[in-house]
Amino acid sequence: GESVGLHLPTLSVQEGDNSIINCAYSNSASDYFIWYKQESGKGPQFIIDIRSNMDKRQGQRVTVLLNKTVKHLSLQIAATQPGDSAVYFCAELNAGGTSYGKLTFGQGTILTVHP
């Protein structure tokens, strides 16, 4: 069945370091991927997205890489800050050619940034 999973459930980094959070997905038909950040007691916050016809997309301090050959997604955070500490989820959408539908979420990676 469809699934999105993460390689590392926890990640601890020092402030100022770069962080890389990984995600594996199994549905090769998925055409849209999103990274969300969730802080304790809050809803998921959109970080960055990427479509299946791209392999890299950059935002402010964040970069998402998509490797469709091995069905792997990663989120890179540059110069990680204490405020980046949160749970990070990848999610995939298999919209069947439309733009709408259910997201399938991974389990989450806990990122802890030490000052």
Partner 1 sequence: NAGVMQNPRHLVRRRGQEARLRCSPMKGHSHVYWYRQLPEEGLKFMVYLQKENIIDESGMPKERFSAEFPKEGPSILRIQQVVRGDSAAYFCASSYQDTQYFGPGTRLTVL
Binding-site string for partner 1 from residue 64 to residue 103, where x marks contact by CB under 8 A and - marks none: -------------------------x-x-x-x---xxxxx
Cβ-based burial of 42 (10 A; exposed 0-12, middle 13-18, buried ≥19)? exposed
In whole angstroms, what is the distance from residue 46 CA to residue 56 CA?
17
The label of the residue with tokens 């989820």 reads: 89
Query: Of residues 28, 40, 42, 53, which one binds partner 1 by CB under 8 A?
Result: 42
State in angstroms the smallest separation of the CB of 27 from partner 1: 14
Nearer to partner 1, 15 or 49 (CB): 49
Checking DSSP bridges between strand 109-114 and strand 10-14, what pairing results, if any?
A: parallel
State in angstroms the smallest separation of the CB of 31 from partner 1: 9
Does residue 49 belong to the site contacting partner 1 (CB under 8 A)? yes
In whole angstroms, what is the distance from residue 77 CA to residue 64 CA?
9
State in angstroms the smallest separation of the CB of 106 from partner 1: 6
Structure tokens that stand for 28 in this block: 């090769």
Contact positions vs partner 1 (CB under 8 A): 32, 34, 36, 42-46, 49, 89, 91, 93, 95, 99-108
